[in-house]
Amino acid sequence: MQTLNEKVQLRDSGFGRPWPRHGLRLLYWFANECISFDIKNNMLSECDPAEGDFGFHEFQNRYDQYGKKLLPDIEFPYYVVGNLNSPGSEDLPDYVSGDKYTDEHDSNTDRIIVSLDEEWFDRVYVTQHHDRSNYDPDATHRISRGLLVIIGRMSLEDFLNKMGYYPCMEYVQPTPEIDYRPQTPDTVSPDLTAVSVSSSDSSERESPTTQNNDIRIQIDDDDTPAQKPSGNLPPTRGFCETFCTIL
């Protein structure tokens, strides 16, 4: 079983995607509100899985039809959370449970499984249902403490964007405004060239005469914070803005 240590590994695992599945939002909640770290880097539980907080319930880790168990046998009990129909799950924040009644893309299929040593989490796993009774071993991964720390330092929107959760945004070139007033010798036709969109860290600026109608948009690296276009390019309201609003 693979242990996910970096954001790119979590993204490439496909866990919690595509929209509107709730696994990534569930993991963000867990990393930010259900866990903390002491000076020895122990994972302290900020909720009580044994008492059924947030829909936690015991995970039996039974043998499947092939005689295998999803997780290794250890001395601590396992608890699972993420079923939006479990008693207690109504206490999850709206950004996790917002698509509770959506059947599209199996939006209630993702789970987090933890092993609990009294008040400490020993291990954290993400997984998804293979069918109504079994979990998919190929989609089951252990989440490292370091990755949980990284997620806990991010905003929800930035985390979901880095994971490729949202459909892509579309931008279109704006139509230039045309001055229809009669031209006279005393008036000058307005410059109809489009504004050039360039990287904010570029040391060279093009003159208006060399910009023409070129639109230059920087493609950000996965781990580089996204930069907003410096021109006046209004985003077209597309699928993402219509359906992916974060509550």
- For residue range 189-238, what is the model confidence (pLDDT) as tens digits? 444 333 333 333 434 444 444 444 443 434 344 444 444 444 444 444 44
> Is residue 54 scored above 90 in pLDDT?
yes
Provide the greatest CA pair distance for the chain: 90
For position 196, what pLDDT does the model report? 37
Q: Work out the burial of residue 241: count CB atoms within 10 Å of its CB; fewer than 13 is exposed, 13-18 middle, 19 or more buried.
A: middle
CB 32 within 8 A of CB 137: no
Q: How far apart are CA 50 and CA 58, in angstroms?
A: 7
Which of the two residues, 203 and 41, has the higher pLDDT score? 41
For position 101, what pLDDT does the model report? 60
Question: Could you tell me the residue ranges of all domains in the chain?
Answer: 3-162, 175-231
Give the least confident one: 45-49, 105-109, 134-138, 157-161.
105-109
- For residue range 134-193, what is the model confidence (pLDDT) as tens digits? 899 999 999 999 999 999 999 999 999 999 998 654 333 444 455 545 555 554 444 433
Q: Do the bridges between strand 141-143 and strand 3-4 make them parallel or antiparallel, or are there none, so unpaired? A: parallel
For position 98, what pLDDT does the model report? 79
CA separation, residue 193 to residues 83, 177, 190, 209, 217 (Å): 54, 10, 9, 9, 17
Which of the two residues, 137 and 131, has the higher pLDDT score? 137
For position 131, what pLDDT does the model report? 79
pLDDT class of 105 with cuts at 50, 70, 90: low
> Is residue 56 scored above 50 in pLDDT?
yes
Q: Do the bridges between strand 43-45 and strand 120-128 make them parallel or antiparallel, or are there none, so unpaired? A: antiparallel
CB 149 within 8 A of CB 37: yes
Q: What percent of the chain has pLDDT over 70?
A: 64
> Is residue 42 scored above 70 in pLDDT?
yes
For position 100, what pLDDT does the model report? 63
For position 108, what pLDDT does the model report? 87
Q: What percent of the chain has pLDDT over 90?
A: 51
